[in-house]
Amino acid sequence: MADILISTTENIPGKTYTVIGEVFGLTTQSKNVVSDIGASLKNLVGGEIKAYTNMLLESRETAIQRLKDEAASKGADAVVMMRFDSGSIGSDMQSVVAYGTAVKFD
């Protein structure tokens, strides 16, 4: 299976395409208790909470891969207008969704 091209723009230079439809990639993750304790301590002194930064980076990568998988299952060659959205679920979980429009090159 060829890799699915992901673009945040509507047009891909040099390509024409037919729209297949919307596609999504979703993940919800949380850190363990030790990371939560470290984050709480970091809140006291300020600065980046690396465990949570890494969790969000991993979440984005997982969401993109799931987006690609869904696009491929629909026969797409690319996803245009890709965006991210995220939100908290409770105090210890983070949800990340990648979404866009699956297209087939003409």
**What CATH number is given to the structural domain containing 90?**
3.30.110.70
- Residue 104 backbone phi and psi in degrees, to 5: -115, 125
The mean pLDDT value for 1-18 works out to: 91
At 104 the pLDDT is 98
- The tally of domains found in the chain comes to 1
Q: Which domain holds residue 98?
A: 5-105
Reported confidence tier of residue 67, pLDDT bands at 50, 70, 90: very high
- SS3 assignment, position 68: helix
pLDDT above 90 (res 63): yes
At 50 the pLDDT is 81
Tokens of 6: 């992901």
Question: Whole-angstrom distance between the N-terminal and C-terminal Cα of the chain?
Answer: 18
Q: pTM of this prediction?
A: 0.81
